[in-house]
């Protein structure tokens, strides 16, 4: 061990971010390398939402060696094949954003080039869904994990989960504690900093206990106890593009149909989610208080519930945006303390996972090299901004004009980076995935088409196939996908037959 080695990491916060960080760090940094402690306060509690994920979470769980079936049972999880959007592009219209690609092998040319060539003037959301196994299976609430079936799309079913966030944190807590993470219950009342360089040296709990460390991970949620309240890092506010600033959440009784997707329905000044779990449905209304009152937003949510509510509504406030620096001095912000884009595409838990991965790749020593910190911040900025653009697209690319809210988002200015993407698509339907941006061309395509954008032409590369060949190929893909969806079991049956229900 060199004298520069980090010997103690303190994680502040025990929500999803805190326990994911504790689990991953303890799995990699063995106890004889450095000590890990996590402080959380039952008095403050956790944000209590955040239950829909994207497929990358499977990589996170696998990297910890977590058994999937045990995870599903213990967190009362269900499987997720994508998101169904109602009333976003237009009232009474729906589309599905599936995980996994559209189409099958297209000889290296993107599926959407051929799709656009064939459908140029007649593209509709239902037609597009027929090229996605996830979307077709979801229509009938079907699900199965991939099986070994050669070239069949059944060999390659991309999926994620809906899970109970409290149970997931408990599950990871157990994992981390068995790997020597020390958990301390207490309310942090003071953060101590070095008088010369401002680095954090320790925190004091109410009652006086002092906990010192070398590296601090701020997982304290929206309050940003270390990164903002102590280090005054600053916040970049994106409310002009993403005006949502409140949410009201209420669980309801379980839906026996167990839809294998998150449902997002656009309302007059925001949108409503419903997330089916084994034992309940998580519901919430994300809205902007400049366009609707708290009482009306709550009433709209209750009106939309498909099953009777359980308990009383939980109200939350936030400002969309990101911290000016995610890593500042010897403090790394992970989770809501780092920023919040809003939950429309279930990206926050992914951003936690991604930050943990980068932290482990760039794990510091006590020198805290500025170049290392800058790199971490640069890559994370990029990641946040690309996700931000993708979310803005959902609001901006709409023809809804039935409320002041929709008039605002439809006509607002948008970031240049998003404008470039939309302009390119408008020409000939091309979409480029840049660097390591999270959402690939399938995602952009499904949302662009779903929200009503139509390119004026098609990608010239689709000319490599005649119209007849293209029509035949697409017809055969539709048939294969329909046949595959047919043999899939109901999601509810799949869970019970495989012993996945607790």
List the x/- string, 386-425, binding to ligand FAD by CB under 6 A: ----------------------------------------
Which tokens is 152 given? 């069949």
Q: How far is the CB of 334 from ligand FAD (least distance, A)?
A: 7
User: Under the criterion CB under 6 A, does residue 52 sit at the interface with ligand FAD?
Assistant: yes
- Alpha-carbon distance of 373 to 390, in angstroms, equals 26
* Dihedral angle, C-alpha 418, 423, 429, 431, nearest 10 °: -30
- The interface region with ligand FAD, picked from 175-183, 293-301, 343-351, 440-448 by CB under 6 A, is 343-351
Residue of 75, 110, 278, 346 that binds ligand FAD (CB under 6 A): 346
User: Under the criterion CB under 6 A, does residue 224 sit at the interface with ligand FAD?
Assistant: no
Residue of 11, 176, 219, 462 that binds ligand FAD (CB under 6 A): 219
- Within 10 angstroms of residue 202's Cβ, the number of other Cβ atoms is 15
CB-nearer residue toward ligand FAD: 40 or 87: 40
User: Under the criterion CB under 6 A, does residue 443 sit at the interface with ligand FAD?
Assistant: no
Q: How far is the CB of 242 from ligand FAD (least distance, A)?
A: 13
Residue of 6, 9, 11, 16 that binds ligand FAD (CB under 6 A): 16
Coil, helix or strand at residue 147: coil
User: Under the criterion CB under 6 A, does residue 438 sit at the interface with ligand FAD?
Assistant: no
Q: How far is the CB of 42 from ligand FAD (least distance, A)?
A: 7
Ranges within 55-114 binding ligand FAD (CB under 6 A) = none
User: Under the criterion CB under 6 A, does residue 47 sit at the interface with ligand FAD?
Assistant: yes
Burial 58-76 (b: 16+ CB within 10 A, else e): bebbebbebeeeebbbbbb
- Alpha-carbon distance of 120 to 301, in angstroms, equals 38
- The interface region with ligand FAD, picked from 344-352, 363-371, 383-391, 407-415 by CB under 6 A, is 344-352
User: Under the criterion CB under 6 A, does residue 251 sit at the interface with ligand FAD?
Assistant: no
CB-nearer residue toward ligand FAD: 51 or 93: 51
Q: Sign of the CA dihedral 59, 61, 65, 68?
A: negative
Residue of 270, 339, 343, 364 that binds ligand FAD (CB under 6 A): 343
User: Under the criterion CB under 6 A, does residue 187 sit at the interface with ligand FAD?
Assistant: yes
- Alpha helices by DSSP H, listed for 259-346, are 294-304
Question: Which of the 8 DSSP states describes residue 83?
Answer: E
- Alpha-carbon distance of 12 to 211, in angstroms, equals 11
User: Under the criterion CB under 6 A, does residue 49 sit at the interface with ligand FAD?
Assistant: yes
Cβ-contact 309, 302 below 8 angstroms: yes
User: Under the criterion CB under 6 A, does residue 39 sit at the interface with ligand FAD?
Assistant: yes
What spatial distance separates the first Cα and last Cα of the chain, rounded to whole Å?
Answer: 45
User: Under the criterion CB under 6 A, does residue 321 sit at the interface with ligand FAD?
Assistant: no
User: Under the criterion CB under 6 A, does residue 269 sit at the interface with ligand FAD?
Assistant: no
CB-nearer residue toward ligand FAD: 58 or 366: 58
Residue of 6, 25, 34, 46 that binds ligand FAD (CB under 6 A): 46
CB-nearer residue toward ligand FAD: 287 or 458: 287
Which tokens is 217 given? 């991970």
User: Under the criterion CB under 6 A, does residue 318 sit at the interface with ligand FAD?
Assistant: yes
Question: Which of the 8 DSSP states describes residue 52?
Answer: B
User: Under the criterion CB under 6 A, does residue 18 sit at the interface with ligand FAD?
Assistant: yes
Q: What is the DSSP annotation of 406-463?
A: HHHHHHS---HHHHHHHHHHHHH------TT-SS-HHHHHHHHHHTT---SS--GGGG
CB-nearer residue toward ligand FAD: 286 or 481: 286
- Alpha-carbon distance of 231 to 194, in angstroms, equals 11
Residue of 26, 41, 75, 492 that binds ligand FAD (CB under 6 A): 41
User: Under the criterion CB under 6 A, does residue 223 sit at the interface with ligand FAD?
Assistant: yes
**E strand or H helix at 284:** strand 280-287
Place of tokens 């999803």: 16
Q: How far is the CB of 16 from ligand FAD (least distance, A)?
A: 4
Ranges within 280-299 binding ligand FAD (CB under 6 A) = 284, 286
- Alpha-carbon distance of 497 to 502, in angstroms, equals 12
Cβ-contact 495, 278 below 8 angstroms: yes
User: Under the criterion CB under 6 A, does residue 330 sit at the interface with ligand FAD?
Assistant: no
- Alpha helices by DSSP H, listed for 53-163, are 56-63, 68-74, 111-119, 125-129, 133-139
CB-nearer residue toward ligand FAD: 80 or 421: 80
Number of residues that bind ligand FAD (CB under 6 A): 39
Coil, helix or strand at residue 391: helix
Q: How far is the CB of 9 from ligand FAD (least distance, A)?
A: 16
8-12 and 35-40 strand pairing:
parallel
Q: In terms of C-beta density within 10 A (0-12 exposed, 13-18 middle, 19 or more buried), how is residue 423 classed?
A: exposed
Catalytic residue positions, numbered? 80
Choose among 289, 386, 397: nearest CA to 347: 386
Phi then psi for residue 165, to 5 deg, are -60, -35
- The interface region with ligand FAD, picked from 95-103, 220-228, 253-261, 482-490 by CB under 6 A, is 220-228
**Binding footprint of ligand FAD on the chain (CB under 6 A):** 13-18, 39-41, 44-47, 49-53, 165, 187-188, 219-221, 223, 225, 247, 284, 286, 316, 318, 335-337, 343, 346, 348-349, 352
């Amino acid at each position: 061990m060199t004298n520069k080695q980090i010997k103690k990491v303190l994680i502040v916060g025990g929500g999803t971010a805190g326990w994911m960080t504790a689990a991953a760090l303890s799995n990699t940094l063995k106890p004889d390398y450095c000590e890990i402690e996590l402080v959380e306060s039952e008095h403050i509690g956790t944000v209590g939402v955040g239950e829909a994920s994207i497929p990358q979470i499977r990589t996170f769980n696998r990297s910890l060696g977590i058994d999937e079936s045990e995870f599903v049972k213990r967190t009362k999880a269900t499987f997720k094949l994508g998101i169904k959007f109602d009333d976003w592009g237009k009232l009474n219209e729906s589309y599905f954003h599936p995980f996994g690609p559209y189409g099958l092998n297209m000889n290296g040319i993107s599926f959407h080039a051929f799709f656009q060539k064939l459908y140029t003037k007649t593209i509709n959301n239902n037609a597009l869904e027929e090229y996605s196994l996830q979307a077709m299976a979801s229509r009938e609430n079907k699900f199965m994990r991939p099986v070994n079936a050669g070239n069949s799309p059944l060999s390659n079913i991309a999926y994620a989960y809906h899970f109970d966030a409290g149970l997931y944190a408990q599950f990871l807590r157990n994992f981390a504690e068995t790997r020597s993470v020390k958990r301390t219950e207490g309310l942090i009342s003071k953060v101590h900093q070095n008088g010369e360089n401002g680095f954090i040296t320790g925190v004091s709990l109410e009652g006086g206990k002092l906990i010192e460390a070398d590296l601090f991970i701020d997982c304290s949620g929206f309050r940003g106890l270390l990164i903002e309240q102590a280090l005054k890092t600053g916040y970049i506010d994106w409310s002009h593009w993403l005006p949502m600033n409140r949410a009201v959440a209420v669980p309801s009784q379980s839906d026996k149909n167990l839809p294998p997707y998150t449902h997002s329905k656009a309302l007059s000044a925001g949108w409503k989610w419903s997330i089916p779990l084994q034992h309940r449905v998580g519901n919430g209304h994300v809205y902007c208080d400049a366009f609707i009152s708290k009482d009306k937003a709550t009433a709209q949510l209750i009106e939309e519930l498909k099953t009777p509510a359980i308990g009383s509504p939980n109200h939350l406030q936030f400002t969309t945006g990101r911290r000016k620096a995610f890593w500042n001095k010897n403090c790394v912000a992970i989770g809501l303390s780092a920023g919040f884009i809003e939950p429309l595409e279930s990206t926050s838990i992914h951003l936690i996972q991604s930050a943990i991965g980068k932290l482990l790749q760039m794990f510091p020593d006590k020198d805290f090299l500025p170049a290392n910190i800058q790199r971490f911040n640069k890559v994370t900025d990029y990641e946040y901004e690309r996700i931000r653009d993708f979310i803005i697209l959902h609001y901006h690319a709409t023809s809804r004009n039935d409320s002041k809210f929709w008039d605002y988002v439809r006509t607002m200015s948008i970031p240049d980076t998003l404008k470039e993407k939309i302009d390119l698509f408008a020409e000939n339907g091309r979409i480029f995935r840049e660097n390591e941006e999270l959402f690939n061309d399938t995602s952009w395509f499904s949302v662009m088409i779903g929200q009503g954008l139509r390119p004026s032409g098609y990608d010239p590369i689709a000319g490599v196939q005649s119209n007849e060949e293209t029509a035949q190929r697409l017809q055969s893909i539709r048939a294969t996908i329909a046949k595959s969806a047919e043999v899939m079991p109901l999601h509810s049956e799949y869970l019970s037959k495989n012993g996945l229900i607790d």
